[in-house]
């Protein structure tokens, strides 16, 4: 697969199977397929962010259409396809109030890769999850009891509550809600001005 900036006009829409055949053609700009794409509901409400590769699959399957492009092309043997920046679902999807699964990745996303005790921003590989109330003392693995934490603070807190350890949380941990998701979408898309009109900046 190859995604490179280009100004040529691509041929017509390829069949969905062409994306798989393009996978053997890569170049130095292949990271374009991992760039974030804003996903809109059929009503134009922003509901998610996915990788460009996933967005292309949705477009090729006829599930979504491209609203904005990011200036890159996907090249295969005989086709060139524009890589989207914003896509819109063709059928309205009802989104549950809390649609994100509880996972390490989503906790770090919610906390913006920031230790909730010392405010240090770190790569995800250098962060761990801390149970605010330790599991050994009845603490559960929930949105409200899990926070991003650096290893130093994790060791310092140990099997104590923040109060007992003399540590204070930056903010009270909460489950994802519409405000949290929209804020994260803004953070992820701040380098792409084409997202602005959909996120109501």
Residues making up the chain, counted from first to last: 201
The greatest distance separating any two alpha carbons of the chain, rounded to the nearest whole angstrom, comes to 65
pLDDT at 143: 93
Residues 114-133 have pLDDT tens digits of 999 999 999 989 999 999 99
The yes-or-no verdict on residue 2 having pLDDT over 50 is no
CATH code assigned to 104-165: 1.10.30.50
- Global pTM reads 0.57
Beta strands 36-40 and 80-89, pairing class: parallel
Domain ranges for the chain: 2-95, 104-165
Q: How far apart are CA 134 and CA 146, in angstroms?
A: 10
28 falls in which pLDDT band (50, 70, 90)? very low
Residues 6+ apart with CB under 8 A from 152: 118
Average pLDDT on 34-62 reads: 91
């Amino acid at each position: 697969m190859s995604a490179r900036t280009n100004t040529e006009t691509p041929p017509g829409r390829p069949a969905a199977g062409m994306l798989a055949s393009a996978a053997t053609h890569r170049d130095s700009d292949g990271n374009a397929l991992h760039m974030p794409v804003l996903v809109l509901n059929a009503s134009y409400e922003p509901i998610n962010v996915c990788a460009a590769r996933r967005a292309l699959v949705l477009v090729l399957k006829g599930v979504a259409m491209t609203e904005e492009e990011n200036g890159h092309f996907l090249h295969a043997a005989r086709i060139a396809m524009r890589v989207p920046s914003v896509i819109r679902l063709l059928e309205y999807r009802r989104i549950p109030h809390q649609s994100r699964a509880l996972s390490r990745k989503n906790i770090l996303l919610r906390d913006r890769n920031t230790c909730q005790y010392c405010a240090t921003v770190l790569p995800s590989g250098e962060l761990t999850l801390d149970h605010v109330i330790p599991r050994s003392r009845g603490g559960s693995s929930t949105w409200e009891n899990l926070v991003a934490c650096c290893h130093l603070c994790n060791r310092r807190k140990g099997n104590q509550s923040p109060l007992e350890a003399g540590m204070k949380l930056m903010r009270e941990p909460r489950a994802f809600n519409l405000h949290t998701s929209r804020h994260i979408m803004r953070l992820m898309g701040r380098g792409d001005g084409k997202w602005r009109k959909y996120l109501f900046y």
